[in-house]
Structure 1
């Protein structure tokens, strides 16, 4: 029996997805206000002894966030389910069961599935959370080999990947070269994730950078991610949010060119001359994507301003 699709038709989160430990509820509001969406981590970022309390805190914050439309003034930590991704303990059956029980009525809409490799785990999550979009995180070699099967699952809305677990699983010692670039094997895996996601019509989310001091490297990574087709990029520190966001916001010259190109495009698909270049349907599609990203960036900017004001007033 086929599983009805639960994933949204388009991945609209991002471009900056900020990790926040589930055991630190005092940071929930700030993290959510700072980034475009927040990844609340119940897995690696939370010690085993702290997981029971973290589950309770996350479930409560999602409840408060869901009710915020009716009652804007609240002093408890809150998380908007629409812009919150929860990373579960998918690799440990007992911990995963505890996660699912604690979040049963929390209205979770986006689930990050770490160390994903087994489609049966996606089936289990979909059965427990039928209205949540699933985001498998490819962090091990077996996940790379299973990427196509994972992306084909009807509840999946995006593929995500990770560098440090992957490096350890490959037997490596560092994920980057001395100049900060990803090592060749990881670049290859990154490309596989992007291509596989596109082949199955789902979004791709780029991995985090653990280097907090090198702003030029983060900027270069974010620019390359946006230009290559990654819908969003994850980050681990609030200071990484703005560089990602800036690189995902098309430059004024690019916006002007896209508007002019679309205005000059013929109504029926055909190659045409534009500013000394021959342009055809794929280039028109790229121009539409530039304008869509620009419009989304402006909308997110207005929404972020409102959320940051609310967070500041709640303090």
Structure 2
């Protein structure tokens, strides 16, 4: 049996409403890399308590196989946030997603709240980046990753459009700064970055175009709102076979005795530096992790 890859694919991060028992059951067989069981936007106020209980049962019973499982709680200053957080800690998912965070101080308070609730140190904290101040302070927010459980950002452009009065066009021209700022801050501090949802789940071509845009910008994957979007996200964010083949050739070439200690070599007719070796190793590791997740269920 191959050793587990240090990388975990997050090509597709699917939001599933916590109040919908059928959706939670269906999630057990979907080809999503990550499931985000939602207690916030997808759940009406009078259904919050029931959704909390349903998500607790589903996560505690480990129904989702090898898929990464995150729980999106309500904001801690809402009537449901504290109870959501306590439940999520007791359920012990892979991570907790918190909406409406605006500053680094909030992240530190969230981390302290998790510790007081008995959360494990490896419980990942994910933040929705969906408020104007969060974008303006994204560097300071990312910088507390070293002292907190902060693991990654999930972009929320629907809320950000509402807050900024921006128009969400197909090319997302209004959000070009936001997209790049989130990726740069994440990479500067070793965090993951997941792109925002695409609202029209029937528009496969539009989704593919937006996934490709996000991939080019450096995002790790796409958050999704419908199972019909999984195939496109998984395909676009998977390394192309030709790229993986070239990456393996780069790794092999640098391992040859005659190339030992060299900073630049030639591979397949291309000048190749050590920085290309590092990227090749990452690409192969991601490809292997995807293969493992596909065969592992």
Q: 1:157 aligns with which of 151, 161, 179?
A: 151
Distance 1:119 1:175, change over 3 A: same
Distance 1:275 1:234, change over 3 A: same
Worse overlay, 239-248 or 23-32: 23-32
CA distance in 2, matches of 1:193, 1:105: 30
Q: 4+ residue stretches of structure 1 with deviation over 6 A?
A: none
- Structure 1 unmatched ranges of 5 or more: 1-9, 66-77, 305-315
CA distance in 1, matches of 2:43, 2:260: 54
Q: 1:141 aligns with which of 132, 149, 152?
A: 132
Q: Is the 8 A contact 2:11 2:238 kept in 1?
A: no
Classify the secondary structure of the residue corresponding to 2:93: coil
Q: Which residue of 2 aligns with 1:20?
A: 16
How many residues align structurally? 278
TM-score (norm 2): 0.86
Written as runs of structure 1 = structure 2, the 5 A alignment for 1:61-210 is 61-65=58-62, 78-79=63-64, 83-90=68-75, 92-129=77-114, 130-131=119-120, 132-153=123-144, 154-172=148-166, 174-176=167-169, 180-182=170-172, 184-210=173-199
Worse overlay, 190-199 or 20-29: 20-29
Distance 1:168 1:272, change over 3 A: same
The Cα shift of 1:126 comes to: 2.2
TM-score (norm 1): 0.82
Q: Is the 8 A contact 1:264 1:274 kept in 2?
A: yes
- Structure 2 unmatched ranges of 5 or more: 1-5
Per-residue CA distance 1:256-294 (angstroms, 9 max, x = gap): 111112212233350122233222122222222221121
Classify the secondary structure of the residue corresponding to 1:279: strand
CA distance in 1, matches of 2:213, 2:78: 37
CA distance in 1, matches of 2:93, 2:295: 24
